[in-house]
Amino acid sequence: MGEPHAPEPRLSKTQRLWRWLKKPLLLGIPIGVFVLLLGIAGFQGVMVASNQNAFCFSCHLKMDTIVQEYQASPHYVSEDEVHATCADCHVPHEFVDKMKVKIVATADIYYMLIGKITKENFEQERPRLAGIVWEEMIATDSANCRHCHTGENFDLASQPQRARLNHQQMEARGETCIDCHTGIAHKRITVE
């Protein structure tokens, strides 16, 4: 047998901390968790901020009459004081679809920066851009409209007779909200 081992000297707190810090995995875990949490908080902050009307207005108020049209619409001024935000109509509520729209919307920023869409040419571009929005609404069966206009917010019995009949028959006719309600929040334009 060998000689008995002498007990290791007791380490101070500082020495134990340095020994722990020398193990990269143990240091990486708390740093990784911190960075992940910071990233999630930052991502959520950007999502919330970019869904606010102030964010949308920051470009559109300078470019065109879209903001003024929206502010004069029933989606902004209502008897119930319920205001639909830009994001309520233009950004899907499901996470993956929302991310797709946010990514595609960065193209608008790019086009503004390179001068393809300007205050001067916006009205010429507007029918094309509106067509894209309307096609998306048709493709999703107006999912964003239906997100709010459901249940008590879509009481057929309280609607005028013509509206009630049209709403009851729209599915049978293969229609969706946008087929009749283009111009509800912005002026009605002709898409070429």
Render pLDDT for 147-192 as a digit per residue (tens, 0 to 9): 888 877 788 888 888 988 888 888 889 888 888 888 788 877 766 5
Query: 23-181 sits in which CATH class?
Result: mainly alpha
- Sketch the domain layout of the chain as residue ranges: 23-181
Q: State pLDDT tens for residues 92-105.
A: 989 899 999 889 88
Task: Give residue 52's Cα distance to chain centre.
Answer: 9
Instruction: Please give the torsion angle defined by the CA atoms of residues 22, 23, 28 and 34, in that order, rounded to the nearest 10 degrees.
Output: -60
- Do the Cβ atoms of 53 and 59 come closer than 8 Å? no
User: Which of 25-29, 57-61, 122-126: highest mean pLDDT?
Assistant: 122-126
Res. 138: pLDDT tops 80: yes
